[in-house]
Amino acid sequence: MIPPGSTIGIIGGGQLGRMLSIAAAQLGYKTHIYDPHEDVCADDVAAYRTRAAFESAEAITRFGESVDVATYEFENLPVEPLKALGEKLRPGVRSLAIAQDRAAEKQFIEECGGRVAPWRPVASLAEVRAAIADLRAPAVLKTRRYGYDGKGQAWIRSAEEAEKAWLGIGEEPAVAEAGVPFSAEFSVILARWEDGRHAFWDSPQNAHDGGILRRSTVPCSDSCSAQIPTAREAALAIAEALGHVGVLTVEFFASVDGPVVNEIAPRVHNSGHWTIEGAVTSQFEQHIRAICGLPPGVTGLTRGHAVMENLIGPEIERWPELVAERGVHLHLYGKGEARPGRKMGHFTRVIR
Ligand code: AMP
């Protein structure tokens, strides 16, 4: 067990690092943020900071010596330098390596018995064309690496659009994935301990807009809830096969044939922000509990319903109205410029 008073290293200083730091502080831990950028929003709430490149094994080694346990808050990180953290890194590099490469991820999910959309790895226009002939349009091209919030993706609505999509994603190694007809999207969020204990939260139903999460609602609709037992089984099989320690999120499409995994995130997730007020133990606190070996917190709902909505780009200007609204829990991330598509904050309503 890593007791309160210890220091938790967090690689990445965005809003997830910020909310993890707040939860860690509540339990008496200090956090140390590792991020190459000058000004990150976790700085406001963390005790220590290293500013160095994610590629620097030397800086990561020094960071590792200064913390009692380390975790990461996003997955676009080079894996090799993180190996210097050894057992201190939770979840380990395996979770990261699988989740950051869409082809490895899909193959792994299938090996764990989960369903994914029919897909092919592609590395040239000829391969994209062959994949579309096979999978049929509509399909979506997604870069294997460095995609998030719908970035690095292009839809192919007919075979003629293959070239435009290939150029659109920058001719990067990618996966071609069949479009899944779904009635809804939902996620399974779980936390797992080193000894195999685990806990699920109620699954939120997620609405996206332009590839970015717009809203998460708990409880989810009946069409999703019927699929949750199968989805949980798949998510737990993935967590176990990874030897994952901490929070793991698996995003699903509710299709007529059952749950189809879209992607996994080896970390706390935007679709779990509602747990801060909507669940007895938030995803952030539970992640800290799991990586430090504290007992699991209760994950049940605090009230009947919770709805979380993101404030994206200029929507941040709604803050005066939201902060004045009774029952709204407003979270502003303290970021500077409200660029389009940038997640600036969120708010949650918890309803009887
Ligand atoms: P992703 O970045 O992979 O999570 O994709 C962002 C969003 O695009 C998803 O949440 C879906 O709304 C949509 N999407 C991605 N892949 C597919 C697919 N194969 N079929 C249908 N919709 C998809």
Q: What is the average pLDDT score of the chain?
A: 97
For residue 96, give the 3-state DSSP assignment: helix
| pLDDT at 105 exceeding the cut of 80 | yes
Contact 211, 151 (CB under 8 A): yes
* Percentage of the chain exceeding pLDDT 90: 97
Distance 110 CA to ligand 1 centre (A): 18
Q: Give residue 147's pLDDT.
A: 75
R_g of the chain, CA atoms, integer Å = 20
Distance from C-alpha of 106 to C-alpha of 95, rounded to nearest angstrom: 13
Sheet holding 153-156, edge to edge: 119-122, 174-178, 139-143, 153-156
Verify whether ligand 1 is closer than 6 Å to residue 238 (CB atom).
Answer: no
Helix (H) or strand (E) holding 348: strand 343-351
Nearest CA to ligand 1 atom 17: 179
CA of 51: how far to CAs of 10, 34, 55, 272, in Å?
12, 6, 12, 28
Residue 334, phi-psi category: left (phi > 0), alpha (psi -120 to 50), beta (remainder): left
CA of 159: how far to CAs of 118, 140, 179, in Å?
17, 12, 13
Distance from C-alpha of 15 to C-alpha of 310, rounded to nearest angstrom: 12
How does pLDDT run across 179-189, given as a tens digit for each residue? 999 999 999 99
Distance 10 CA to ligand 1 centre (A): 28
| pLDDT at 285 exceeding the cut of 80 | yes
Q: Give residue 55's pLDDT.
A: 97
Q: What is the pTM of this model?
A: 0.96
Distance 317 CA to ligand 1 centre (A): 28
Distance 259 CA to ligand 1 centre (A): 14
How does pLDDT run across 294-337, given as a tens digit for each residue? 999 999 999 999 999 999 999 999 999 999 999 999 999 999 99
For residue 2, give the 3-state DSSP assignment: coil
Verify whether ligand 1 is closer than 6 Å to residue 174 (CB atom).
Answer: no
Of the candidates 10, 12, 18, the residue with the CA atom closest to the CA atom of residue 332: 18
Distance from C-alpha of 196 to C-alpha of 298, rounded to nearest angstrom: 16
Verify whether ligand 1 is closer than 6 Å to residue 179 (CB atom).
Answer: yes
DSSP 149: T
Verify whether ligand 1 is closer than 6 Å to residue 116 (CB atom).
Answer: no
Q: To test the ligand 1 pocket, which listed residue (135, 262, 271) has its Cβ within 8 A of the most ligand atoms?
A: 262
How does pLDDT run across 25-61, given as a tens digit for each residue? 999 999 999 999 999 999 999 999 999 999 999 999 9
What is the mean predicted confidence (pLDDT) over 60-64?
Answer: 98
Contact 331, 45 (CB under 8 A): no
Q: To test the ligand 1 pocket, which listed residue (74, 140, 212) has its Cβ within 8 A of the most ligand atoms?
A: 140
| pLDDT at 148 exceeding the cut of 80 | no
- Could you tell me the pLDDT band of residue 340, with boundaries at 50, 70 and 90? very high
Verify whether ligand 1 is closer than 6 Å to residue 313 (CB atom).
Answer: no
Residue at 30: amino acid letter: K
Of the candidates 59, 25, 70, 68, the residue with the CA atom closest to the CA atom of residue 44: 25
Q: Give residue 352's pLDDT.
A: 87
Q: Which atom of ligand 1 is nearest to the CA of 117?
A: 19
Q: Which atom of ligand 1 is nearest to the CA of 139?
A: 19
Q: Give residue 16's pLDDT.
A: 98
